[in-house]
């Protein structure tokens, strides 16, 4: 079965950096686009970033563009999110999410989430 | 950017009753609409895609309808595990992928 396990979250000061990882299993990781979605405490869902199956294209929400970088290592079945210049408003649970397909790009499997807290 | 608007924000329903949730898109998304639910402390889970197709393992009491800009999620014979927050999402025009603000279905 599909499993997505995030790691790397924690507490960081404003202006700091953090890298999230997502270990994927149960499907052919190299064949699917992957997303990061976040949820601030008590709030709704916000799409953050998407990377195509081969890493050829990357897309970002305006709120993180220029600060966050999504990447993947298909040899390790792992997705990453490098977060720089973190702000208090980046505090959220970050979910690693599998895209269904390039034509029907809805979110079919979600990781359990990883909390990132930006605070001094 | 396509803005998704859900109503109502909160829906109070008795177990065994039917809940009807609405989602509106600011422009047509055809049938490129998904529904997710999220129980407290858990990750969201896909319920419906293509506006009306149930995801794997989702019971038949969940049904989706609509196309274009108006969509509905109906949950019949509500069970205790159905009390959660429900989100709609469009995947027609991206980026960005956009969600509604959510509808909380609570026990009446």
Q: Which DSSP string do the residues of B6-65 spell out, in sequence order?
A: EE-SEEEE-TTS-EEEEEEESS--TT-EEEEEE-TTS--EEEEETTTEEPTT--TTEEEE
- φ, ψ of residue A91 in degrees (nearest 5): -60, 125
Give the distance from residue B99's alpha carbon to the nearest chain A alpha carbon, in angstroms: 7
The reported pLDDT for the residue numbered B60 is 97
The reported pLDDT for the residue numbered A103 is 79
Give the distance from residue B106's alpha carbon to the nearest chain A alpha carbon, in angstroms: 16
Do A82 and A60 form a contact (C-beta atoms < 8 A)?
no
Give the distance from residue B102's alpha carbon to the nearest chain A alpha carbon, in angstroms: 7
Determine, for residues A62 and B97 on separate chains, whether the beta-carbon distance falls below 8 Å: no
Rounded-to-integer distance, Cα B60 and Cα B57, Å: 9
Query: How many other CB atoms are found less than 10 A from the CB of residue A85?
Result: 13
Does B58 touch chain A if contact means CB atoms closer than 8 Å? no
For residue B83, what are its two tokens? 């009390």
- Closest Cβ–Cβ partner in B49, B100, B101 for A106: B49
User: Measured between beta carbons, which residues in chain A are less than 8 angstroms from residue B49?
Assistant: 100, 104, 106, 108
- φ, ψ of residue B27 in degrees (nearest 5): -150, 165
- Closest Cβ–Cβ partner in A61, A106, A110 for B34: A106
Does B102 touch chain A if contact means CB atoms closer than 8 Å? yes
- Closest Cβ–Cβ partner in B94, B98, B102 for A105: B94
User: Measured between beta carbons, which residues in chain A are less than 8 angstroms from residue B98?
Assistant: 47
Instruction: Enumerate residue ranges in chain A where pLDDT < 50.
Output: none
pLDDT of A73-105, one tens digit each?
Answer: 999 999 999 999 999 999 999 999 999 987 788
Determine, for residues B95 and A59 on separate chains, whether the beta-carbon distance falls below 8 Å: yes
The reported pLDDT for the residue numbered A102 is 78
Interface subset of B 60-79, CB within 8 angstroms of A:
none
> Residue range B45-54: average pLDDT?
98
The reported pLDDT for the residue numbered A104 is 80
The reported pLDDT for the residue numbered A101 is 87
Q: What share of chain A is helix, strand, coil (3-state, %, to 5)?
A: 5, 50, 45
pLDDT of B57-78, one tens digit each?
Answer: 999 999 999 999 999 999 999 9
Percent of chain B with pLDDT over 90: 98
Mean pLDDT of chain B: 97
């Amino acid at each position: 079965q599909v499993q997505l396990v995030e790691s790397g979250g924690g507490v960081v000061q404003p202006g700091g950096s953090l890298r999230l990882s997502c270990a994927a299993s149960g499907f052919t990781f190299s064949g699917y686009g992957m997303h990061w979605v976040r949820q601030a405490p008590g709030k709704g869902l916000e799409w953050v970033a998407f990377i195509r199956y081969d890493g050829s294209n990357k897309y970002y929400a305006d709120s993180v563009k220029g600060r966050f970088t999504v990447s993947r290592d298909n040899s390790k079945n792992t997705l990453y999110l490098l977060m720089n210049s973190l702000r208090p408003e980046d505090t959220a649970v970050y979910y690693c999410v599998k895209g269904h397909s390039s034509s029907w790009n809805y979110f079919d499997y979600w990781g359990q989430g990883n909390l990132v807290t930006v605070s001094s | 950017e396509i803005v998704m608007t859900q109503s109502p924000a909160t829906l109070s329903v008795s177990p065994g009753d039917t809940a009807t949730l609405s989602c509106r898109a600011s422009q047509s998304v055809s049938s490129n609409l998904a529904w997710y639910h999220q129980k407290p402390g858990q990750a969201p889970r896909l319920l419906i895609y293509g506006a009306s197709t149930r995801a794997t393992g989702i019971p038949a009491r969940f049904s989706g309808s609509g196309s274009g800009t108006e969509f509905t999620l109906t949950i019949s014979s509500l069970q205790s595990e159905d009390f959660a927050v429900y989100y709609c999402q469009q995947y027609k025009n991206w980026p960005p992928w956009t969600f509604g603000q959510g509808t909380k279905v609570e026990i009446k």
